[in-house]
Structure 1
């Protein structure tokens, strides 16, 4: 178990027991791709792959960080004002950034900490391993200082998000951190990224399972293209604000406005806006379908979402498209789409329980040849899991 592994590794590394151990999950996103940083709607689900952080306080203002996945350790005296520059230490910027934000908000007393990370959320798979690390760090550090208090999930999610966007310096929306902090067992999270309002939606149909196919591919274009999409959406907001007034994000643009003014937009901005507008509609439709126990309609939203991400948002790749095609061909798979930022990573599929092995076999047999790659994908079944918790 991840938490037990973290506890044992902490004792071996620091020759004492941790004061607190917290774990937080990775996530998939059933519908709502690239809408979070546009103030839109998302429908993520925490998965039963977790990152655990064990921690104990110090009194010398020294911070020592270790990970079971990385050789050596990172040691800093005092919380840094800027990210560590060494490539070997880059992983530590995520937990350090969280500690900086918690201290700034008065949720953690900065006096030093020993910290150890262990987990089984695949890195680089589009499953938000970084958010899981951030949220678990936030919870462990908070528990070190406030062991009798209930975890303030939203405050921890916000601190984790600020750490990634501010300290680490990566543009991202709030979905990943909120999913890792606020999801509940057996539910997906309906999140309004503008208002921060959340609602759990029951996902308890035993006839269907969530299957993740990790392509184990990440194209170099991923980081730069993500930033390009953020910039393009900001440009679209400027144009719509000039046309309509009062437009602060693409969330403020509806289908009628898009249709009325599409001709005045450059083709790229028209496609980006069309994706965001229709994706928000698909999230609402998927929530309605889940509440009506219409799993087939949820799957339709997923297939449509992938097509929009591929054609209008242009963040897919041949590997992701191949897995979605294989899902479409398999009887019993009702929906599939890329999850994460795109250009590699994973596909999430909604599969009838008795078709899971057929889908896995179809992927294993056909994927490498049809995608033109020699890297075998990883496939695993997951369940809607609990968000951050103390262990």
Structure 2
């Protein structure tokens, strides 16, 4: 955990003045609902107790001066000269500035310091957390009167335009809007949302990071999107009211897609069923039925691995391995696939023993270190 005092002290050392504001914006997990976002479906994320911290203060001139603790690096640019840069990290902040100015925000020069404890490359959305922290900090610094949903949308557009990643809204939305002890049921079609209780009792959420990212990831993602769009087009020939897989039933797929292309059928069916699993997971949370929640997680992994084909040997191994322990109620791969983490619903008292057992077995099988990350569902973006 990074303290406010730590951030304040570093800002003062680097910029010679006190920061006006310090903002904390968290990373996120997704309990269930994978590859549903770009099909106008539902997702079930929540923020975690790992975050990006941003300290800001105004300058007398029109310079933007950034410092990233992770890279021990400064970046300077005049506010009128901002554009995407080859150096990766400034883009997440500059992209936010760009979006704010497109909306007519009157910004001046500022200093901004960034640090964080979201594990990088684990699929916990450190980039979205940085965008939202920067957006929130500039909102208060320049009194822009933006709402939280606006900040999430600005973060998403910053990622599209400056970081060059065509992401959905889930990561930014979860970072800004989460509430401790709850998950957010987010409708990716119209951004309506509700909070569902996440009362874990004797259980905890444990992430196991494979520490792999297979090169298949981006091409496979594009292929899956294309398959989903192709399935929708086939259904639309018979039903003009359908806009996305959100509107499609398994019966429609059976009638109009399966006879034409079994691969497109299988991929589309996964998305339709994943939305149904998410509904069952929400019902389980409302009833405090963690066994049922865990069962939906295991089923989701099966679908992601066999039907949607976005898993990999490392992820499948981790999910299969934990099934032998009654203390693990559910597990699945989390995120786009082909690497990253599994999310596990584990008896709190069993976490350390599970880590102790699974780490050497994973290392022996794949020659890789396994990183265990304990996370606690937490509140979204806030001023410290």
- What secondary structure, in the 3-state scheme, does the structure 2 residue paired with 1:141 have? helix
Counterparts of 1:271-310 in structure 2, within 5 Å, are 271-310=266-305
**Which residue of 1 is the match for residue 103 of structure 2?**
105
Structure 1 Cα separation of the partners of residues 25 and 167 of structure 2: 19
**Which residue of 2 is the match for residue 332 of structure 1?**
327
Instruction: Say which of 82, 91, 94 aligns to 1:93.
Output: 91
Q: Is the contact between residue 326 and residue 362 of structure 1 (CA under 8 Å) also seen in structure 2? A: no
Counterparts of 1:130-169 in structure 2, within 5 Å, are 130-146=127-143, 152-169=147-164
Normalising by structure 2, report the TM-score. Answer: 0.95
Unaligned runs of 5+ in 1: none
Instruction: Say which of 212, 235, 239 aligns to 1:244.
Output: 239
Structure 1 Cα separation of the partners of residues 287 and 330 of structure 2: 17
Q: Is the contact between residue 2 and residue 51 of structure 1 (CA under 8 Å) also seen in structure 2? A: no
Structure 2 Cα separation of the partners of residues 227 and 79 of structure 1: 35
The C-alpha deviation readout for 1:54-87, integer Å capped at 9, x for no partner, is 1112242211211111132221212556421x2x
Structure 1 Cα separation of the partners of residues 2 and 235 of structure 2: 48
> How many positions carry a matched residue from both structures?
383
Unaligned runs of 5+ in 2: none
Structure 2 Cα separation of the partners of residues 169 and 154 of structure 1: 21
Q: What is the Cα deviation at residue 169 of structure 1?
A: 2.4
Normalising by structure 1, report the TM-score. Answer: 0.93
Structure 1 Cα separation of the partners of residues 231 and 53 of structure 2: 40
**Which residue of 1 is the match for residue 31 of structure 2?**
30
- What secondary structure, in the 3-state scheme, does the structure 1 residue paired with 2:179 have? coil
Q: What is the Cα deviation at residue 13 of structure 1?
A: 1.6
Q: Is the contact between residue 82 and residue 94 of structure 2 (CA under 8 Å) also seen in structure 1? A: no
Structure 1 Cα separation of the partners of residues 364 and 190 of structure 2: 45
Counterparts of 1:121-270 in structure 2, within 5 Å, are 121-146=118-143, 152-270=147-265
Q: What is the Cα deviation at residue 229 of structure 1?
A: 2.3
Structure 2 Cα separation of the partners of residues 224 and 284 of structure 1: 29
RMSD across aligned positions (CA) = 1.8
Instruction: Say which of 310, 318, 322 aligns to 2:317.
Output: 322
Structure 1 Cα separation of the partners of residues 292 and 255 of structure 2: 29
Structure 2 Cα separation of the partners of residues 2 and 159 of structure 1: 26
Q: Is the contact between residue 3 and residue 22 of structure 1 (CA under 8 Å) also seen in structure 2? A: no
Q: Is the contact between residue 3 and residue 21 of structure 1 (CA under 8 Å) also seen in structure 2? A: no
Structure 1 residues 73 and 179 mapped into 2: Cα distance closer, same or farther (>3 Å)?
Answer: same
Q: What is the Cα deviation at residue 306 of structure 1?
A: 0.9
